[in-house]
A = this chain, B = another copy of it.
Amino acid sequence: RRQEVMRLASHEDGTAGAIMTSRYAAVAETLTVGEALHQLAAASDAETIYLVFAVDAAHRLVGTADLRSLIAADRRAPVAGLLDRSPTSARVDDGDEEAARRLVEARALALPVLDGDGTLVGIITFDDAQRCLEAEAREDADRFSAIQSTPQESAYLDVSFAGEMRRRAPWILGLAVAGLMAGYIVHIYEDALDALVILALYMPMVADTGGNVGTQSASLVLRAIATGGVGLRDAGRVLWKETRVGLGLAAILFLFAVLKVWFISNGSDVPTALTLEGIGVAIGVAIAVTVVVSVLIGAMLPLIALVIRVDPAVFAGPALTTIVDVVGLFLYFQITTRMLGIALVE
């Protein structure tokens, strides 16, 4: 046990080596099935014997076999004849998440972990892989919700007050600082709000909608990246797809905004120089443009995160909402004031 701990401690956190176990049973490739079964039956210390690892004299992995095939085989047959000679495996310095995902995708019971020269140094069991992926999923979800994730998860009710402040306060404070920017935009256009009070009524809807469509795009692209369905090579296809979706959503929201302004508005809010029809169209155009831009920002942030190698979940979660908020408010005021010709006194 102590030897195992020392061995594993020598592998860096976040690598396959750090989540593997050295409690595995390997058999020599030269054995017969009967001899191998005999050895496996005695390997009470091994975490699993259901995947059999066959090694050569230098302890290099030759192949793997399901225990089932050994049980079904003739006892006198050589193990070598039953081996899958190109089994799914990981290198000790591969990422732990990558190795775990490989194991889960292969729906295998264990994954052999090899040294640079192909020596079998450990195995990752399916439950360790599962635990690793669960922890990763939790950390991603946390970052998406602006929570400072800790590698070790404590039960919710066990986290101390200080612990809660540490995982929640930094993001909240950072985002509050960023939120001042959105306020600055509103501040700049206060005279426009003054001149046309109806703009205030639709302002939060435009900002919220931008955040919502951006979050949808970011979530979908993020998951496509995480599950390996999309990489940087697909950036063009992703952006083209999202542009079309953005235009579709923009059309729906344009109609919604125009109809709302035209038919369910208080006419007394309209200055004499303007018409309700014109205001409706301006607000509709503003929300449509905001939607398309927000969808594209949502789709691009995870891709940018890939390029500059930061965690896509942070970049696509809390950062997105803040960016889209500022951009959305700016577009809203720019478009409505230009289309309606409201003079700005700055």
Contact = CB atoms under 8 A, between A and B. Distances in A.
Interface of A: 37, 40-42, 44, 49-50, 67-68, 71-72, 104, 107, 109, 126-127, 130, 137-138, 141-142, 145-147, 155-157, 161, 164-165, 168-169, 171-173, 175-177, 179-180, 182-187, 190, 193-194, 197, 200-205, 207-209, 211-213, 215-216, 218-221, 223-224, 229-230, 234, 237-238, 241, 244-245, 248-249, 252-253, 256-257, 260, 318, 321-322, 325, 329
A104 B127 CA distance: 8
29 contacts: A104-B130, A107-B127, A126-B126, A137-B137, A141-B219, A142-B219, A145-B215, A156-B223, A157-B229, A157-B230, A157-B234, A164-B241, A164-B245, A168-B213, A168-B216, A169-B248, A169-B249, A172-B212, A172-B213, A176-B209, A176-B257, A179-B205, A179-B209, A180-B202, A186-B200, A190-B193, A190-B197, A194-B194, A204-B325
A48 B137 CA distance: 28
A182 B205 contact: yes
State the 4 A-B residue pairs at the shortest beta-carbon distance, nearest first.
A156-B224, A179-B205, A182-B204, A145-B219
A202 B182 CA distance: 9
Nearest to A50: B50
A134 to B, nearest CB: 9
A183 B168 contact: no
Given A157-B238, A172-B209, 11 more contacts: A146-B216, A156-B224, A161-B245, A171-B212, A171-B216, A173-B252, A175-B212, A182-B208, A183-B204, A186-B200, A187-B200
A204 B208 CA distance: 11
A156 B235 CA distance: 12
A176 B294 CA distance: 15
Nearest to A157: B237
Given A71-B41, A141-B219, A219-B147, A230 B126 contact: no
For A67, A216, A249, A321, which residue has the most chain B Cβ atoms within 10 angstroms? A216
Contacts of A72: 41-42, 44
B318 A176 contact: no
A180 B157 contact: no
Contact of A49 (B68, B211, B219, B257): B68
B224 A203 contact: no
A208 B221 contact: no
A208 B175 CA distance: 8
Contacts of A325: 204, 208
A161 to B, nearest CB: 6
Contacts of A50: 50, 67-68, 109
A246 to B, nearest CB: 10
Given A68-B49, A194-B194, A256-B173, A244 B212 contact: no
A255 B38 CA distance: 71
Contacts of A42: 72
Nearest to A194: B194
A203 B186 contact: yes
Contacts of A157: 224, 229-230, 234, 237-238, 241
